[in-house]
Structure 1
Amino acid sequence: MSRMHFEQIAGDYAAARPTYPDELYRALADAEVTGPGRRILEIGAGAGLATVELLRAGCEVVAVEPGARLVEHLRAVAPGVDVIQCGFEDVDLPGSAFDAVVAATSLHWVDLAVGLPKIHGALRTGGRLAVWRTVFGDDEVGTEFRRRVAAIVARRSSDEQDRRREVRPTVDELSEGGLFELASSEEWRWSVDLTADEVRRLFGTFSNWNEAEVAAAGQAADELGGVVTEHYRTVLHLLRRRDRESAVDEPRRVSDPSDGAGRHDA
């Protein structure tokens, strides 16, 4: 599935996706990733869910987003943001111009062999890379609705199930080549009540769900009373920029709380 899937459903994406937990933004502020006057580069800003919060924190935000409809929406909901309409692999960025680079549910669409050196070059000495995403479905919380969702996914081929359950990018991928080293990883578990119509709208934004599967998920929510409680988790990886002189060729091996079974691609 192309990352331009979200451009085709720009309005639905903006309306259906839940926000990220407040705790995540507090963690970014505590780590001095965000704050008044901090210059931030945001990769794949999409509908602006994170962009709005970055501006609210007093940051100066330059957002890279390839989709024309999403750019139009972004400028409407996040006035003051400087938007570059371009794929990240093709964007021309000034060197050492940013205090931090952030990617909210977007970096898995970027070719990291191109993207990581580009991010490294755009960051100032000591700059941070913050990568986060929400996993739609918490394996530690079982519900009847989740059992029905699992049954829908089980009808796919085994290869398709395995590929789409991986939560990316992993810390190992982000550390590849030694340009970045892990500072911290955190995750937050949270829940939200969704009506059957909200389930249909939300699941319709998942790039790995087809129309029949979305309809089946909505029907399951209808049959369970019309409202279901979904349990999600949001994972944040915070990395430090390393000087090129200290970078190593081999990736740094670290534990990664996002490794394992992610429920949905985004």
Structure 2
Amino acid sequence: MTDRERLRTTFGTDAARYHRARPTYPPQLFAQLSGPRILEIGPGTGQATLPLTAIGDVTAVELSPALAAVARSYAPAAHVVVANFDEWPLPPEPFDLVVSATAFHWLDPATRMARCAAALRPGGALAVISTHHVAGGTEQFFVDVQKCYERWDPATPPNLRLSKGDDIPREFDESDLFEEPEFHRYEWEQAYDTEAYVDLLLTYSNHIALPARDQLIADIRQLIDTRHGGRVTKRYLTQLAIARVRTAGPVAS
């Protein structure tokens, strides 16, 4: 099992925490999307699924049975399927829109673009939503906390610093199956008390799988409580990339 395959299975270990702690998405993002038949890949517990059901009929394919159970309750209008999208048999009727919110990077990079194109009608669109932690918010905390990571996670680069939102690249898989993507970017902030921030960290696959996780979390909890008044603010960049599937075949190289 590869690291990607192993880590992608960690999210269902505490579905209630995942639903409670994970941030949602800027509402204006969904105004860029349309399509009566929507396929969502990797819905988690439904943070994007619920607003998508206001746009069209949603079929959501989720790897984790535990996450899928929460998504069904949270977004009851959606049809949630438990399956690995990399292997899921595509239905005969194509979709108008394929969406993946903070999950596309878990799909097999060798096949994900072709499978998304195959799931779409001619001229249908693929929307990939990614979430990035960027410079801002309680900036000194995110400088201070690097010492905790360097202490307990040997993979942490020394003196790592957050990038500004403008420095985050506009990334989208290159594929002749799709037209050039358009990008929409939203920066926003969310405040957390100590326990809410710890809750959030424990939904990240690299934290869940870290051997020294408990020591790291205790260190971070103490840092927030003793040096930052029990509350920190995190700045996010949410990026939406939309590309339409080509209707005339791939462009000749």
Do the two structures share a fold, i.e. TM-score over 0.5?
yes
2: CA distance, partners of 1:204 / 1:117: 33
Q: Tell me the residue number matched to 1:92.
A: 89
2: CA distance, partners of 1:69 / 1:244: 41
CA contact (8 A) 2:95 2:124 kept: yes
- SS of 1:180's partner is coil
Structure 1 residue 10: Cα displacement: 1.1
- Paired-residue identity, %: 33
Q: Tell me the residue number matched to 2:34.
A: 34
Structure 1 residue 168: Cα displacement: 9.8
Q: Tell me the residue number matched to 1:227.
A: 231
1:67 and 2:64 aligned? yes
1:4 and 2:5 aligned? no
Instruction: Give the counterpart of 2:247 among 221, 237, 243.
Output: 243
**Counterpart code for 2:142:** R
Q: Tell me the residue number matched to 2:174.
A: 175
CA 1:100–1:142 in structure 2 vs 1: closer, same or farther (change >3 Å)?
same
CA contact (8 A) 2:137 2:233 kept: no
2: CA distance, partners of 1:91 / 1:247: 28
Q: What is the root-mean-square deviation in Å for CA atoms of aligned residues?
A: 2.5
Structure 1 residue 237: Cα displacement: 1.0
Query: Per-residue displacement from partner, 1:101-151 (whole Å, max 9, x unpaired)?
Result: 00000010000222211111110111111001211x313666111112333
Q: Tell me the residue number matched to 1:127.
A: 124
Q: Tell me the residue number matched to 2:51.
A: 53
- SS of 2:229's partner is coil
1: CA distance, partners of 2:145 / 2:121: 44
**Counterpart code for 2:174:** S
CA contact (8 A) 1:190 1:232 kept: yes
2: CA distance, partners of 1:13 / 1:126: 34
Query: Per-residue displacement from partner, 1:192-226 (whole Å, max 9, x unpaired)?
Result: 11000001000111111232323322222112101
2: CA distance, partners of 1:242 / 1:217: 48
Instruction: Give the counterpart of 1:192 among 180, 190, 193.
Output: 190
**Counterpart code for 2:237:** R
- SS of 1:8's partner is helix
Query: Per-residue displacement from partner, 1:57-91 (whole Å, max 9, x unpaired)?
Result: 23100000011111111111111211221001110
- SS of 2:44's partner is coil
CA 1:161–1:116 in structure 2 vs 1: closer, same or farther (change >3 Å)?
farther
Unaligned stretches of 5+ residues in structure 1 = 250-266
Unaligned stretches of 5+ residues in structure 2 = 1-5
TM-score, length-scaled by structure 2? 0.84
Deviates more, 1:183-192 or 1:40-49: 183-192
2: CA distance, partners of 1:140 / 1:79: 36
Q: Tell me the residue number matched to 1:19.
A: 24
**Counterpart code for 1:180:** F
- SS of 1:90's partner is coil
- SS of 2:7's partner is coil
Deviates more, 1:45-54 or 1:223-232: 223-232
Deviates more, 1:212-221 or 1:148-157: 148-157
Q: Tell me the residue number matched to 2:79.
A: 82
